[in-house]
Amino acid sequence: MVKRVIWTVRADHIFSEILEYYIKRNGTKLYSNQLNVKIQSILTLLSRQPFLGVKTSFPEVRVFVTSDSKIFYQISGDRLIILLVWDCRQNPESLELYIKSK
C-alpha cells in the first residue's frame, strides 16, 4: 500500500487537457467530471494495490488499462507517481511520442 499519489506536472497538464477537450466537445462538464471521478477511483484502487498494473518495456513503469484510458505510473517507496493518463481514443502515435520524451 502506498501512502501518497503524486502527479508529475506533465501528467497533470495532459490530463487537464483531456478534461478540457471533452468540456469543449460536449459543451458541458458532465463527462469530464465523470471521467475525473473514474480516474480518481482507479488511483485509490492502485494506491491500495499498486501492482495491479502491468509492467511495461520501460524500467519501473507500470500501466493500468481501462476501457478507454491507460494510466502509466511508477511505484517509489510509499509513493505512486502518475506519469501519464492517456485517453485511448487519441492518435496512438502521439502516445509513443509522450512515452519516448519521458
Run of H or E including 34: helix 30-48
The tens digit of pLDDT for each residue in 10-61 reads 999 999 999 999 999 999 999 999 999 999 999 999 999 999 999 998 889 9
Contacts of 9 (CB under 8 A, 6+ apart): none
Domain 4-100: CATH class, spelled out? alpha beta
Contacts of 31 (CB under 8 A, 6+ apart): 22
pLDDT at site 88: 83
